[in-house]
A = this chain, B = another copy of it.
Amino acid sequence: MTQKPLVNKQGQTEEQYLRTYDASQFERPSVTVDMLVFTVMDEVEENYRKLSPKSLKILLVKRGEHPYLGQWALPGGFVSPHESLEEAAMRELFTETNLDNIYLEQLYTWGDVGRDPRTRVISTSYMALVDSSALRLQAGDDADEAEWFRLEDKWLKETKTKTPDGTVTEKWVELRLTNEREELSATIKLTKTISGKIVRETREIVETNRIAFDHAKMIQYALERLRGKIEYTDIAFALMPELFTLGELQQVYEVILGKELLAAAFRRKVADKVLETNRYRKHAGHRPSKYYRFNPEWMERG
């Protein structure tokens, strides 16, 4: 059974239509990917008995070109015509960290007009989580200076206003990104509008100090997502080395969530997700702790 070829209103077949299709009829934006690369590293601790406190780090690169010359930006770049968004993200990640097989998740696509003073740029942000012990040193890696920054946030204030349209809650959050040499900061305003049953959330940069583009907003958003997901998924393991103690794992949860957890409950919660080894972490000035590894069968369940 032969089928009559489908034609459009101009009488064209699909083949004819595609041959004459003018791809330039719509003005096109540039498309980039921006990478939010997180890791958790140990800080120095003078007291030999105490555990080294951990801190959440994010990778930034110093801009060597206008705009925002000399300021710090998320690593990223243009998506080339023959690679998918995810391929572009993995390529950027590899050039910055020399790692592959890394946790990678698409977060959000930022498409406001005027995000970039050069031209219309739409940017898809990806979050990557890396185990800091697997990281090669960056030294001489590349021309652009990539550095890790300690990331912290702080609640500044919150207001709640009743308007005819509903209730508007505004929260100001301060980000602080610090380094041996640099201290960056930004203030983000989160606006939640409740009108009837519809809730809308927006974020806005109130002030930024040496953080390029709208990247402070992206960082704040990613931090929020990381916090959310660590509670109901197993992404924390992507931040851990092959072997870790339950105390270290708990520290990672604590530094991301920004609060202390009860050890007993934490151990119950992760019990099925990890496998015991017969190795111990010793020479720590206190009872040695058992090393564990991730239990892949936990993920294969169901």
Q: Which of A6-14, A51-59, A252-260, A281-289 contacts B (4 or more CB under 8 A)?
A: A6-14
Cβ of B194 and Cβ of A69 under 8 Å apart? no
Residues of B within 8 A of A69 (CB): 6-8, 14
Given contacts A79-B29, A198-B238, contact A296 B167 (CB under 8 A): yes
Residue A153 is within 8 A (CB to CB) of chain B in the complex: no
Min distance, Cβ A99 to any Cβ of chain B, angstroms: 11
Given contacts A6-B70, A30-B26, A119-B21, contact A237 B113 (CB under 8 A): no
Residue A164 is within 8 A (CB to CB) of chain B in the complex: no
Cβ of A65 and Cβ of B8 under 8 Å apart? yes
Determine the residue in chain B with the shortest Cβ distance to A131: B197
Min distance, Cβ A13 to any Cβ of chain B, angstroms: 8
Determine the residue in chain B with the shortest Cβ distance to A69: B6
Min distance, Cβ A170 to any Cβ of chain B, angstroms: 13
Digitize A180-205: 1 where CB-to-B-CB distance is under 8 Å, 0 elsewhere.
Answer: 00000000000000111111100000
Determine the residue in chain B with the shortest Cβ distance to A123: B109
Residue A149 is within 8 A (CB to CB) of chain B in the complex: no
**Copies of this chain in its oligomeric complex:** 2
Alpha-carbon distance between A102 and B197 when the two chains are bound, in angstroms: 9
Residue A251 is within 8 A (CB to CB) of chain B in the complex: no
Determine the residue in chain B with the shortest Cβ distance to A236: B197
Alpha-carbon distance between A67 and B86 when the two chains are bound, in angstroms: 25
Digitize A212-226: 1 where CB-to-B-CB distance is under 8 Å, 0 elsewhere.
Answer: 000000000000000
Residues of B within 8 A of A109 (CB): 85, 106, 109, 124
Min distance, Cβ A174 to any Cβ of chain B, angstroms: 19
Cβ of A113 and Cβ of B84 under 8 Å apart? yes
Selected from B18, B28, B199, B238, the residue in CB contact (under 8 A) with A299 is B199
Cβ of B17 and Cβ of A67 under 8 Å apart? yes
Alpha-carbon distance between A6 and B71 when the two chains are bound, in angstroms: 11
Given contacts A65-B8, A300-B194, contact A81 B29 (CB under 8 A): yes
Tell me which of A30, A83, A86, A195 has the highest count of chain B C-beta atoms within 10 A of its own C-beta: A30
In the complex, 12 of the A-B residue pairs with CB atoms within 8 angstroms, ordered by the A residue number, are: A8-B66, A12-B66, A17-B67, A18-B67, A18-B118, A28-B29, A31-B122, A85-B111, A101-B196, A167-B300, A194-B299, A197-B234
Contacts A6-B66, A6-B69 known; 6 new A-B pairs at CB < 8 A: A18-B118, A101-B196, A109-B124, A111-B124, A122-B122, A196-B296
